[in-house]
Structure 1
Amino acid sequence: MNVKSPTGAELREVHAFLAKYPDVQGIDVVLTDCHGIGRGKTIRRHELDALYLSGRPIPASMFGQDVAGDDVGDTGQVLHDGGGDKRCWPIPGTLGVLPHAKRGQVLVSMFEADGSPFTADPRQALVRHVEAAQALGFSPMGAFELEFYLVDRERDARGAYQPARYALTGRRSLNRNTMSVDELDEMAPFFEMIYEGAEHLGIPLESVISEYAVGQYELTIRYRDLMRAADDLVIAKRLVRSAARRFGMEACFMAKPFGQEAGSGMHLHLSLENPAGENLYADTAEGALSTLMLQSIGGVRRTIGDTMLVLAPFLNSWRRFASVLYSPASDTWGFENRTVAIRVPNTSGKARHFEHRVAGVDANPYLVAAVTLAGALRGIEERCDPGPAAEGNSYNDAQISDLPRSWLEAIDRLEDSSFMREVLGLPLHQAFVAVKRAEYQRLALHVTEVEWDLYGFSV
């Protein structure tokens, strides 16, 4: 094979890695599927050169599977061409080490044999829209926030999952402890492992807080170019999950694991820069929001209803909207307001950006970034007016917004959306809809214990 790496990955990155980590023998090759789940294989140290020189074959059916890994025939990705492999190439800057696991890790993306993008790969959807923005003179910048729960492997006497014991003391607290620094101290060994891993994996983790629920935490990641921001989130989730196992607990990235507690979001902060690195969302000289930023917000508001299946991709995702604990399922926007969907933080005028707050932590970050950027570009192209900013508690306004109200309605909305066909491309659009319909049917046929409790011998 004479195809040069279409990602721009270079062999010198391999040589620097092997020299720095002479004892690392295994490297996880991670391809992110449409659910945001890492699929792939573990290769040996001597195989790393070949990965960078000629890529690695992986079945394209990875993008035609449901969340459990079962094939979904209607995706168009399962055996449609005999079930052959496509070529996966490493993403520059993602080769690093999970020090606690003593293994390397590198993200890959899928391509055709001739080096052209494989269009059912969600990362390629984001690449297309970043390139479209760059063609207009914009450099998309961003960062994700990562919320998650730490839970014990052992269930309580009722069979329910419970908050994990603290890594330092072994104590279990059932208090909310929102923003408690003492709680962080009791989890210090775990977070020290996280920060050490982040350094070896090249992801710029910043602050950590104890969030608004028992056993819930949030990590923030430094702002940088949007492609790397999405890669950062993928790597960070895998790091957190892997480290949690070393302490006898599990990291949970469901959007709403506990019905009476806060959901877990994956807020995206976004802005556009010019080629000189200047923020195009910066306030005007008079201190007002820039026209470009207002148009971007208008575009996201106009398209958000069509994107809800990306932002809330699973049945559990929609439970997050059943409670208004900082989970805005709406198209509202406002200044320094956590009840709106699109928040303008109170940053300095030069650092101005907006925060998209609707996506759950269970969403695919590549797709979340793609639909948000595409909506912003649509708003600039069509000069969308965002309308007046919401003030005070906007949750009541959410009842009149034009958004899907259920998972099934979101599936129908995305399937019928010309905007989403354009954003995802036809192969990914077909696959994503088919997978979600298959998951819906699977769960629609499952009778839960709650239904038995409520209806079994009463109706």
Structure 2
Amino acid sequence: MSDDDWTSQLPEAAQSYLVNRRLDEVECIISDLPGIARGKAVPATKFAKQKNFHLPNSIFFQTITGDWSDAAGEEGYTEPDMILTPDFTTATAAPWTGDWTLQVIHDAFDRKGKPIPYSPRNVLKRVCKLYEAQGWQPVVAPEMEFYLVARNIDPAKPIEPMMGRSGRPAAARQAYSMTAVDEFGPVIDDIYDFAEAQGFEIDGITQEGGAGQLEINLRHGDPVKLADEVFYFKRMIREAALRHDCFATFMAKPISDEPGSAMHIHHSILDIETGKNIFTGPAGGETDAFYNFIGGMQKHLPEVIPLLAPYVNSYRRYVKDHAAPINLEWSRDNRTTGIRIPISSTEARRIENRVAGMDCNPYLGIAASLAAGYLGLMNEERASKQFKGDAYEGDGDFPRTLGEALDVMDEATALADVLGPEFLRVYSVVKRTEYEEFLNVISPWEREHLLINV
């Protein structure tokens, strides 16, 4: 294809970015299981001549530490190439680079043209197709929480909040304070500028409860498109922070005495034929589908916790009275429950999953949440009675360690039918490998309290 052929397919924001500029490079990328961008950077002239490129399927068998799991399956560790095809609707600028660069997300297929089952974007597409087969269109809106922290190049050193312009970390611990947001003005300015260049619409930025903790809300929309944006945003926010001598971290619990970071996911489901929200009836009341979706989340979210909380650190976030749920009670406008019904118009009625951590892969976190709701809709699961009061006074009802969560996930046959059995097999093997790696590390706590006391 010629240069003109492919650039004419680009979204408006990408075309605007290139006005009166010569495109130098295209980054051909795909999300691995942790959500890291993998791929190749190629000269724009070469990209214009290729229809696809190749990467070994082993990129999905790698742990977050860079080690390799034994997830190859019966065929053995032969590392066959996948065929990666560009989705031009995802083309967007990489405005932090020194030259004029575009990023393009690719989809992964095998040599027979079948989607690679353990590619995270393919997993989410699989779930969305199940909804579409029922005449439903899922709509999501993710919220991204993260910390701006001081540069940390020593893993043995505790993470500290970034110093804002006042030089006082406590000044950045005032939830919803505009002054606290102003502490990090230069970083936030770059985030806005980068988002504009990439064509992303930010619904708002607020200061959260932790020192240096911010939240970005995105407009609701198609699950795959929103997952693409979160995937892009994570990289973009990190780049904005590095410009100002700090780190952006999406760890679920980076600082021991501060709240964790979540990726709250809001869901509604539209009837494709009518465009109406299936959670709302003709007279504006809540429908059976509304309660079935909640019931599905209550029953099946415990089975997908490893997708919503993928690391040992993730489980440190689930602490009573620390802005993270410990159970799957549901309630209206109650932030202590795992499932919250926000205040909204009847047309915008939605259900919020507050369990997912910001460290999850956005494709897999959204896919897992939608999968639980889908099973609730299909099996007409009954929601529990609405919870009243402080849900932190109750008991936890989902796994609280990675090992326990993986055991529960491995027994979830109905969930495997939705997300794909081969995906869950590979994911479980990779996560168990990571867990074994973690268990081989002796922590400072153990050395401090056990060395001479036991």
Normalising to structure 1: TM-score of the pair?
A: 0.91
Residue in 1 aligned with 2:423? 428
Structure 2 vs 1, CA of residues 318 and 81 (structure 1 numbering), >3 Å: closer, same or farther? Answer: closer
Q: Quick one: distance in 1 between partners of 2:358 and 2:274?
A: 29
Q: Quick one: distance in 2 between partners of 1:28 and 1:393?
A: 48
Match of 1:448 among 423, 443, 450: 443
Q: Does 1:457 align with 2:428?
A: no
Alignment deviations for residues 280-328 of structure 1 (CA, whole Å, 9 cap, x no partner): 2453344431221111111111111111111111000000013431211
Q: Quick one: distance in 2 between partners of 1:294 and 1:426?
A: 27
Gaps of 5+ in 2: none
Residue in 1 aligned with 2:307? 310
Match of 1:348 among 332, 340, 345: 345
Q: Does 1:46 align with 2:45?
A: yes
1:405 deviates by 2.9
Residue in 1 aligned with 2:261? 264
Q: Is the 1:119–1:425 Cα contact (8 Å) retained in structure 2?
A: yes
SS at match of 2:121: helix
1:383 deviates by 1.3
1:396 deviates by 2.5
Q: Quick one: distance in 2 between partners of 1:84 and 1:172?
A: 53
Q: Is the 2:109–2:116 Cα contact (8 Å) retained in structure 1?
A: yes
SS at match of 1:322: coil
Q: Is the 1:89–1:110 Cα contact (8 Å) retained in structure 2?
A: yes
SS at match of 2:239: helix
Correspondence 1:402-441 to 2 at 5 A: 403-441=398-436
Residue in 2 aligned with 1:117? 115
Q: Is the 2:331–2:386 Cα contact (8 Å) retained in structure 1?
A: yes
Q: Is the 2:127–2:419 Cα contact (8 Å) retained in structure 1?
A: no
Q: Quick one: distance in 1 between partners of 2:6 and 2:452?
A: 65
Q: Quick one: distance in 1 between partners of 2:350 and 2:6?
A: 33
Q: Is the 2:327–2:391 Cα contact (8 Å) retained in structure 1?
A: no
Alignment deviations for residues 56-88 of structure 1 (CA, whole Å, 9 cap, x no partner): 1011101111012221123439x8362221111
Q: Does 1:30 align with 2:25?
A: no
SS at match of 1:74: coil
Residue in 2 aligned with 1:187? 184
Residue in 1 aligned with 2:193? 196
Q: Quick one: distance in 2 between partners of 1:36 and 1:125?
A: 13
Q: Quick one: distance in 1 between partners of 2:7 and 2:153?
A: 47
Q: Is the 2:150–2:161 Cα contact (8 Å) retained in structure 1?
A: yes
SS at match of 2:90: coil
Match of 2:61 among 53, 64, 76: 64
Q: Quick one: distance in 1 between partners of 2:153 and 2:133?
A: 53
Q: Quick one: distance in 2 between partners of 1:15 and 1:208?
A: 25
Residue in 2 aligned with 1:235? 232
Question: Which one-letter code corresponds to 2:233 in the other structure?
Answer: A
Alignment deviations for residues 116-173 of structure 1 (CA, whole Å, 9 cap, x no partner): 21111111111111111111110111111000001111589x943221133xx37343
Alignment deviations for residues 341-395 of structure 1 (CA, whole Å, 9 cap, x no partner): 1111011111101111101000111112212212222111111111211111112
Greater CA drift, 127-136 or 82-91: 82-91
Greater CA drift, 360-369 or 99-108: 99-108
Question: Which one-letter code corresponds to 1:368 in the other structure?
Answer: G
Structure 2 vs 1, CA of residues 311 and 334 (structure 1 numbering), >3 Å: closer, same or farther? Answer: same
Structure 2 vs 1, CA of residues 349 and 331 (structure 1 numbering), >3 Å: closer, same or farther? Answer: same
Superposition CA RMSD, Å? 2.3
SS at match of 1:31: strand
SS at match of 2:9: helix
Residue in 2 aligned with 1:5? none
1:178 deviates by 1.5
Q: Quick one: distance in 1 between partners of 2:451 and 2:195?
A: 49
SS at match of 1:208: strand
In the alignment of these two chains, the number of paired residues is 444
Structure 2 vs 1, CA of residues 172 and 93 (structure 1 numbering), >3 Å: closer, same or farther? Answer: farther
Match of 2:79 among 72, 76, 83: 83
Q: Is the 1:420–1:429 Cα contact (8 Å) retained in structure 2?
A: no
Q: Quick one: distance in 2 between partners of 1:450 and 1:221?
A: 38
Match of 1:250 among 247, 251, 274: 247
Gaps of 5+ in 1: 3-8
Alignment deviations for residues 90-113 of structure 1 (CA, whole Å, 9 cap, x no partner): 223211112232432121221112
Q: Quick one: distance in 1 between partners of 2:393 and 2:414?
A: 28
Residue in 2 aligned with 1:13? 9
Question: Which one-letter code corresponds to 1:161 in the other structure?
Answer: I
Q: Does 1:98 align with 2:94?
A: yes
1:276 deviates by 4.8
Residue in 2 aligned with 1:133? 131
Match of 1:143 among 141, 144, 156: 141
Q: Is the 2:271–2:278 Cα contact (8 Å) retained in structure 1?
A: no
Q: Quick one: distance in 2 between partners of 1:309 and 1:155?
A: 28
SS at match of 2:394: helix
Correspondence 1:287-306 to 2 at 5 A: 287-306=284-303
Q: Is the 2:11–2:89 Cα contact (8 Å) retained in structure 1?
A: no
Structure 2 vs 1, CA of residues 21 and 317 (structure 1 numbering), >3 Å: closer, same or farther? Answer: farther
Greater CA drift, 278-287 or 109-118: 278-287
Q: Quick one: distance in 1 between partners of 2:283 and 2:394?
A: 30
Question: Which one-letter code corresponds to 1:392 in the other structure?
Answer: G
Structure 2 vs 1, CA of residues 429 and 374 (structure 1 numbering), >3 Å: closer, same or farther? Answer: same
Q: Quick one: distance in 1 between partners of 2:211 and 2:318?
A: 19
Alignment deviations for residues 9-66 of structure 1 (CA, whole Å, 9 cap, x no partner): 9663259757536244122222111111211122221122245xx2110111011110
Q: Quick one: distance in 2 between partners of 1:119 and 1:344?
A: 33
Q: Quick one: distance in 2 between partners of 1:21 and 1:313?
A: 44
Alignment deviations for residues 208-234 of structure 1 (CA, whole Å, 9 cap, x no partner): 011101010000000111111111111
Structure 2 vs 1, CA of residues 342 and 92 (structure 1 numbering), >3 Å: closer, same or farther? Answer: farther
Q: Quick one: distance in 1 between partners of 2:359 and 2:235?
A: 13
Residue in 2 aligned with 1:224? 221
